[in-house]
Structure formats: structure tokens, C-alpha cells
Amino acid sequence: MEQVCPICNAMAVYLLKCPVCGNQMENIGALQEFFDDYSPYLPMDITQRIDDAPHSQCVHLFYCKTCHYDKRIPIDRVIM
């Protein structure tokens, strides 16, 4: 069995309200996609060492287009 992120695999949607202005924040992707040009193609066990998240979580970056606030949210992986 494998642990997968429900957001990365389109199994769930996470809605988050901006704590600064109250508008809807946008999930712009998993944090490891922003390290460098090749990080989206690296195995997860390598990129997870960089973001300090446990293997049971996938950290997503949420961004508010209105006030430019961003927040990292750890998402629990599910067993498939």
C-alpha cells in the first residue's frame, strides 16, 4: 500500500480563507514544486527531506491574490 496526497491526486479540495483579508486563497501546489526547476521530477523521499514534513504529510502552498499573503498547510496523506 502507498500513501498519497488527496489534493495532489484530485481526491479532495481544500478551501482556505485568507486570515488577512478574508478572501478565498488558492492552492498553488505542493511546496516541493517550488524548490527549483527539477524538484517536481524528483522522488518524494528526496523532496520531503527538504520541507521537513513527515512522510505522512504533503505541504501545500496557499496564496491570496488580493493581499499576497501565503501560507504553508500540511495535508495528511491517505493510504491507497
Walk along the chain (80 residues) and give the pLDDT tens digit of each residue.
888 999 989 999 999 999 999 999 999 988 877 766 665 556 666 556 555 677 788 899 999 999 999 999 999 999 98
Kindly list the distances between the CA atom of residue 67 and the CA atoms of 29, 31, 32, 53, in Å, as whole numbers in the listed order: 19, 20, 23, 27
Ramachandran category for residue 25: left, alpha or beta (phi over 0 → left; psi -120 to 50 → alpha)? beta
Distances (CA, A) of 46 to 6, 31, 35, 64: 20, 13, 12, 28
Give residue 12's pLDDT.
Answer: 94
pTM flag (> 0.85): no
Domain that holds residue 18: 3-79
- Measured distance CA(27)–CA(6) in Å, rounded: 13
* Count of structural domains within the chain: 1
Is residue 35 helix, strand or coil?
coil
